[in-house]
Amino acid sequence: MEVLYRAARSIADPVGHFTGFQPGQTLLAKGTLIRKGAMPLPCDIVFDRDVAVTLRDGTVIYTDVFRPANARGPLPALVAWSPYGKGIMGGNQHLDEFPGRVGVPRSAVSDLQKWEGPDPAYWCLNGYAIVHPDARGVFRSQGDVAFWGTQEGRDGADLVEWVAAQSWSNGKVGLAGNSWLAIAQWFIAAERPPHLAAIAPWEGHVDGYRCDVLRGGIPDVGFNESITAITCGEHRVEDMPAMVRAHPLMNPYWEDKRARLERIEIPAYVAASWSNVVHTPGTFEGYQRIASPKKWMRVHNSMEWHDFYLPEHQDDLRRFFDCYLKGMDNGWERTPRVRLAVFDGRGEDRDTLDRAEKDFPLSQTQYQTLFLDAQRGTMSASASAESALRYQGDDGQGRAVFTLRFDRETELTGFMKLRLWVEAEGSDDMDIFVKVEKLDAKGRVVPKANIPMEGLKKSLTRWLFRRGVEKVAMAYFSGPKGRLRVSHRALDPGRSTPEQPYLSHVAREPLAPGQVVPVEIAISPVSWVWRPGEQLRLTVAGYNLHPIPLPGIPPPDIRNRGTHILHTGGRYDAHLLVPVIPR
């Protein structure tokens, strides 16, 4: 089918920070400062810039390569694949653009790293080469920019094989990086390039339709548009927002944006969090569905960029790559397969970190059904009499709230699912947004800080003042979320489970007047402890409860009008399914 494109942003546009096309080799001496305040380079590094790589279809892309100058013998390599620019200080995004650099001190990195990628200073010091490609169509690379899918997977696989053939390579290549750099790993690894030895996707989704631009069937292209709009090149960029408008139902184009996880059999280090609107569900799906017998997942309690550059986590990731790219017998395979952060709600220092588990979802999970009571606005283990409530679907305020007060300490870790019985009055469709929050004994929301707040208050205040916003959602996580366009309610029976409904999105099923239908809404996983007196609050609304936590991102395309009616009790088994972990 026809794929829609638009012109890429000019490489001369200041947004790209393009530093020119300068093929050649430079020695970056130990102690070099890439810029004031950054980490001095800890070793001599050979910098090969704008090296041409020819892909299988003849397209030429350009890559930078960083290697330790005094390496003894061939080197393993890590590839950081993305469309953001390969830089030194190049690329179209930078940590300085965010308040307090989201907890990553300037001195923690050398600024040789590309956006969301591993820092060459750290990895060269430890005997690795780092490869920074400009993907197809990016800056001076030839072709049109692809948004994930088979094309990007094959391009990345070609680069892996090129790296393995270099004279300095030991033939072992890994993939590393966060967000797009993680998403690309699923697609590249699914191509099974022979010399790809291990991957480390650090929070990145696996399905462009279900995780990004059409979550729950509701068009939401603002974040994707923000990336598309700043992608720089000399040709075209795939126009995924236009594809959403032209093709809102599942088709071969969208199927190609779903990673073939079952083809991934190599070792994987998966880093996840509970708090990323776009990344969390897909990261957990990636860990669950890859076929590798050697896979590990660590779930952290902060924001991904902060977590990625913490020294202890770089060291942890190095142990993984040392095992599979250097062949070191370093005890890595005795690492617990799953390490969890469990939110406490009384401050980051009270969270449980790296709790060892054998797999995810946890085998000891006891799912509990909490029935909704529309008359009382509560949840309980017993179904109530039949009742209904109404809210306005199109005024930006209409919602229904259900609460449960805990009488004993309770841990919920895993996937939640909401089952509703719904009716639309004045419309043939409904867009539903849901959120689960923790309240203290006095009914106040207990948010979870995503970014270490020490030293951030002044910079955060200045950042907010300049943008005229009241708060920054990036800094806090209030609870797991889900959404659904009711006309997309049909489930894929082959992929759905009782706790994880999987929508097929193959056809639209409008509502008839007076029709009451059951719907199942997947809620992203979480791990949280409630204490006696604290409450769980479920909110069901006709407006967006989970915006992308960045300024200037427009809301999803909501089609609500008229009145939403929720039916509970009696004939209507409306409930929240929660994963209780015995304590």
- 269 by Cβ neighbours in 10 Å (0-12 / 13-18 / 19+) ranks as buried
* 160-162-168 Cα angle (round to 5): 100
- The closest alpha carbon to 381, from 580, 582, 575, 539, belongs to 575
- The closest alpha carbon to 317, from 275, 267, 245, 372, belongs to 267
**In three state form, how does the secondary structure of 228-259 look?**
HHCCEECCEEECHHHHHHHCCCCCHHHHCCEC
- DSSP run (H or E) holding 49: strand 45-54
Q: What is the mean pLDDT of each run of 10 residues along the chain (583 residues)?
A: 96 89 96 94 97 98 97 95 81 79 90 94 98 97 96 98 98 97 98 98 97 97 95 97 98 98 98 93 97 98 91 97 98 98 77 95 98 98 96 95 97 98 97 96 84 54 45 68 98 96 98 98 96 97 85 90 97 98 93
Exposure string of 552-563, with b = 16+ CB inside 10 Å and e = fewer, is eeeebbbbbbbb
- DSSP run (H or E) holding 191: none
pLDDT for 96: 84
- The closest alpha carbon to 34, from 127, 129, 148, 114, belongs to 114
DSSP state, residue 328:
-
- The closest alpha carbon to 19, from 111, 151, 152, belongs to 111
Count of other CB atoms within 10 angstroms of residue 462: 12
DSSP state, residue 209:
I
Between strands 24-28 and 366-373, the pairing is unpaired
Task: Please compute, for residue 427, the number of CA atoms within 13 A of its CA located in the half-sphere on the CB side.
Answer: 21
**CATH says 5-335 is which class?**
alpha beta
pLDDT for 457: 52
For 275, phi then psi, to 5°, come to -115, 5
Exposure string of 234-247, with b = 16+ CB inside 10 Å and e = fewer, is eebbbbbbbbbeeb
* 41-44-48 Cα angle (round to 5): 100
Residues 540, 481 contacting (CB under 8 angstroms): no
Count of other CB atoms within 10 angstroms of residue 198: 23
CATH 3.40.50.1820 intervals, the chain: 5-335
| Residue 173, C-beta contacts closer than 8 angstroms, at least 6 positions apart | 76, 77, 78, 79, 160, 163, 164, 193, 195, 196, 197, 325
pLDDT for 543: 95
pLDDT for 350: 83
Query: Of 2.60.120.260, 3.30.1360.120, 1.20.1580.10, 3.30.950.10, which CATH number belongs to 366-451+478-581?
Result: 2.60.120.260
CATH 2.60.120.260 intervals, the chain: 366-451+478-581
Count of other CB atoms within 10 angstroms of residue 18: 19
- DSSP run (H or E) holding 263: none
Residues 253, 26 contacting (CB under 8 angstroms): no
Between strands 169-178 and 75-79, the pairing is parallel
CA distance 109 to 101: 12
Between strands 517-530 and 410-425, the pairing is antiparallel
